[in-house]
Amino acid sequence: MQATVNATDIVRAIEVWRPQDAGGPFALCSCVYGDDDHIEEGRRLRRFELGEGIVGQSAQTGQPHIRSCEDLIDDGIDLAHSHVVSIPFMHSGQCKGVVLLACDESEGNQGAMELWRPNDRGELGLAEAWHSNLERFGLISKYVKFPRRAGLPGKVWADRFPRVMGSLGTSQQFLRAAGAKAEGLSTGIGIPLMRTAMQLDSVLVLLSANRTPIARAMEVWAMDPDSKKLKIVSADYGAFMDLAPMSRQLSLGIGEGIAVHVLRDCAPWATWDLLGVEFPRGEKFLEYGFRWGLGMPVFVGSEIRAVAVLIN
């Protein structure tokens, strides 16, 4: 049985679409739905060829997109008052999967999904965005540009490595901190989406608010060169700070955790079985009401550099 996500959660659906064979078509591989689990059956039957729908387009071009669900009726995403980001995961030019993350923008739900792309001056500008009930923050963000190494998007770009940032409202490193503080944004994650090993397509930034988090825990895992196991290199757990020391000590080996699953398959993966997958943290996750996890590989050319994990 699929666990029911807390009704106040801003995330309405997470879908992971993967090619059934090289080049497609793309089928729903794993998913997490909140109160909208009735759509799962229909989605399981759906297939997307390359170039078809938002899944196929992202898979073909390697470009992520943010769209209103109202514009995706033909895609079969029947979620009112929601926006979806499609995130393709390109490995040596081949799409290993596409994640659709749909968030609810009903009154009171705060959160942001942003795509920062290089412009003709070599700066990152906001190319596509969804700011839910963050009018001022969203308004100003349109006018902001980040050169390489500046701000969360610029640092992610320079490092070609994902990064989690907490305390957005007070951080000197988050350059839109004042807006974040005013509007209650607490934690963010930046994920580089590379076209080739050296060429960035965009930086995906997910900004989570305390009251209606996109994810209560955000983690970045990378291979420890000594132990050859996955360790956390950047993470934030919001109010659930006692998860931090426990997580910090973890080294994931074969068969352990969402991150290893993603590393093994070289593809994104969503699960609601935190208890079964995230030993020994699963019990804590359930105790705190966490229900699902999403793991996303971070490819740089043919190399998988890190795994970004969202848990809520």
- Give the interface with other proteins as residue ranges (CB under 8 A): 120-123, 136, 139-140, 143-151, 155, 161, 163-167, 170-173, 175-179, 186-187, 210, 222, 224, 231-239, 241, 244-245, 247-248
CB of 184 to other proteins, least distance (A): 10
DSSP 8-61: T-SEEEEEEEEESSTT--EEEEEEEESTTGGGHHHHHH-EE-TTSHHHHHHHHH
CB of 258 to other proteins, least distance (A): 16
Q: Which residues contact 92 (CB under 8 A, 6 or more apart)?
A: 301, 302
Report strand pairing: 111-118 vs 124-132: antiparallel
Bridge partner list, 309: 219, 295
CB of 289 to other proteins, least distance (A): 16
**How many whole angstroms separate alpha carbon 251 and alpha carbon 247?**
9
CB of 159 to other proteins, least distance (A): 9
Is 136:182 a contact under the CB 8 Å cutoff? yes
Using the minimum distance from each CB to other proteins, give the nearer residue, 62 or 125: 125
Is 307:296 a contact under the CB 8 Å cutoff? yes
Using the minimum distance from each CB to other proteins, give the nearer residue, 56 or 192: 192
Nearest in space to 133 (alpha carbons), one of 78, 66, 80, 185: 185
Query: How many residues in total does the chain contain?
Result: 312
DSSP, res 268: -
CB of 308 to other proteins, least distance (A): 13
Using the minimum distance from each CB to other proteins, give the nearer residue, 53 or 138: 138
Using the minimum distance from each CB to other proteins, give the nearer residue, 84 or 222: 222
Using the minimum distance from each CB to other proteins, give the nearer residue, 195 or 229: 229
Using the minimum distance from each CB to other proteins, give the nearer residue, 193 or 218: 218
CB of 183 to other proteins, least distance (A): 12
Nearest in space to 46 (alpha carbons), one of 71, 22, 78: 78
Using the minimum distance from each CB to other proteins, give the nearer residue, 80 or 241: 241
Using the minimum distance from each CB to other proteins, give the nearer residue, 24 or 162: 162
Tell me the backbone φ, ψ of residue 58, rounded to 5 degrees. Answer: -65, -40
Rg (CA), the chain: 18
CB of 243 to other proteins, least distance (A): 9
CB of 156 to other proteins, least distance (A): 11
**How many whole angstroms separate alpha carbon 8 and alpha carbon 287?**
17
CB of 287 to other proteins, least distance (A): 17
Tell me the backbone φ, ψ of residue 216, rounded to 5 degrees. Answer: -80, -25
Using the minimum distance from each CB to other proteins, give the nearer residue, 61 or 210: 210
Nearest in space to 187 (alpha carbons), one of 233, 234, 140: 234
